[in-house]
Structure 1
C-alpha cells in the first residue's frame, strides 16, 4: 500500500510538473503573452516616432499660418498707405493754389485759350514780302504790352530784308500746353514748326519753343509776353 501510494504521488507530481512544461497549454499561453508584450514594446518606438512627426507637422502648419498672416498684414499696410497717398494727392489738387489753376480742372476753358493762342501765333508769325504790312496790322489786335513792343522791333529789323530778298515765312503750331489758367490770365508752352524761303530757293525748316503769357480782355485772349526757350 505504501509503495502504491508513493507511486501514485510520483505520477501525480510528474503530471503536475508535466502540465507546465513545453508543449502544454499553460506553456503556450505564457509564450503568447510574452510575444504580445514584446510586440507592444517594439510598437512603442514607432508610436513615439509618429507622435514626433505629428508634432513637427503641426509646427510646420503653424509656421505656415503665421507666414500667411504676416504676408496679409503687410499687404494690408501697403494698400492703406497707397490709399492715403491717393487721398493726399486729391486733397492737393482741391486745395489752394492748385484748385485755382483751372488748367487742371476746366477742360473747356483750357481748350479755348490754347486754340486762340495757337491761331494768333500762326497768323502773326506768317508773312510774305507783299503782305508784311497786313500781318503787322493783324498783330496789333492780338498782341499787347511787352509782346507788342517785341513784335514791332522784330518787324522793323527784318522789313528791308523781307522786301529785298523776297522772304516768305510760314508758321504752324504743332503743340500747345496750358501751364496755368487763373481767371483772365494764362501761361502756355507752345511748339512751332516754321518754314522760310528766299525767292524761289528751297525752303528751310526750323522748330521753335515759346513760353507765352496771355491776358483776356473783353472776352478775347491777347498775348502779353513771348519768351524763346
Structure 2
C-alpha cells in the first residue's frame, strides 16, 4: 500500500439490544405516565395556570398604569377643563391677600388645603402675613395660564400653574406684575383640594 492510499475505516460492531433493559424502560415510562395522569398532575397544572394568569395580570396592570391612556388628562377633555378651572380659582384665592382682612385668606386656605400643602403654604405666605399690616400691603394673584400634567383614575391631578402677582402698598403699585410658577397637586375629595405646592 502506498503512502497516499487510505486504509478503509473499520466498522465498529453494533451493540446488541438487551430485551430485558427495553422491557424495564417501557415499564418505568408506563408507570410515570400513570402517575402523571393521577390527581397530582391536574392540580399542578391548574396551579401553574393560576400563577401564570396572576403574573400576566400584574404585568398588564403595571403596563396600563404607565401607558398614556392611564393619564386621563389626555383623553377626558371635559374633566380636564373642570379641574383646571376649579384649581386655578382656588390658587388665586389663597394667594390673594389684603392687610385689612387677613382672615379671608386664612379661611380660604383652610377650606382648600390639605396634607403637606398646609405647611408648605404657611412657609410661602408667612413672610407676607408678617409684613403686610405695617406696610399696608395687598397682594393680588391671577392665574395667567394653567395646564394639567396628569389626571389619574383615583382622583389625583398635577398641574403647572403660571401666576401674575401684583403688590400694592398703601394703594400704590410697588411695581409691574411678578411672574411665578407652581406645581400644584390636588385630590378630588368632595371637590378639589390642594395637597402639594412646589415652586416650578
TM superposition score category, shorter chain reference: 0.5 to 0.7
Shift of 1:223: 0.6
More helix by share: 1
Q: C-alpha separation between the residues in 1 aligned to 2:149 and 2:82?
A: 14
* 1:97 counterpart = 2:67: yes
The aligned residue for residue 122 of structure 1 is 92
TM-score, scaled relative to structure 1: 0.56
Shift of 1:104: 0.5
Q: Secondary structure in 2 aligned to 1:173?
A: strand
Specify which of 131, 156, 168 is matched with residue 197 of structure 1: 168
Residue correspondences, number: 135
Q: C-alpha separation between the residues in 1 aligned to 2:72 and 2:129?
A: 40
Q: C-alpha separation between the residues in 1 aligned to 2:79 and 2:169?
A: 39
RMSD: 1.7
Specify which of 133, 136, 156 is matched with residue 166 of structure 1: 136
**Contact 2:88–2:146 under 8 Å retained in 1:** yes
The aligned residue for residue 81 of structure 1 is none
Specify which of 119, 128, 131 is matched with residue 149 of structure 1: 119
Q: Deviations over 1:106-134 (max 9, x none)?
A: 00110111001100011010110011111
Shift of 1:96: 4.9
Moved over 3 A (4+): 153-157
By relative contact order (CA 8 Å, sep 6+), the higher-ranking structure is 2
Specify which of 152, 166, 183 is matched with residue 211 of structure 1: 183
Q: Secondary structure in 2 aligned to 1:144?
A: coil
The aligned residue for residue 188 of structure 1 is 159
Shift of 1:156: 3.7
TM-score, scaled relative to structure 2: 0.63
The aligned residue for residue 42 of structure 2 is none
The aligned residue for residue 198 of structure 2 is 227
Q: C-alpha separation between the residues in 2 aligned to 1:191 and 1:167?
A: 22
Shift of 1:95: 8.8
Structure of larger gyration radius: 1
Q: C-alpha separation between the residues in 1 aligned to 2:133 and 2:125?
A: 11
Q: Which runs of 5+ in 1 are unaligned?
A: 1-93
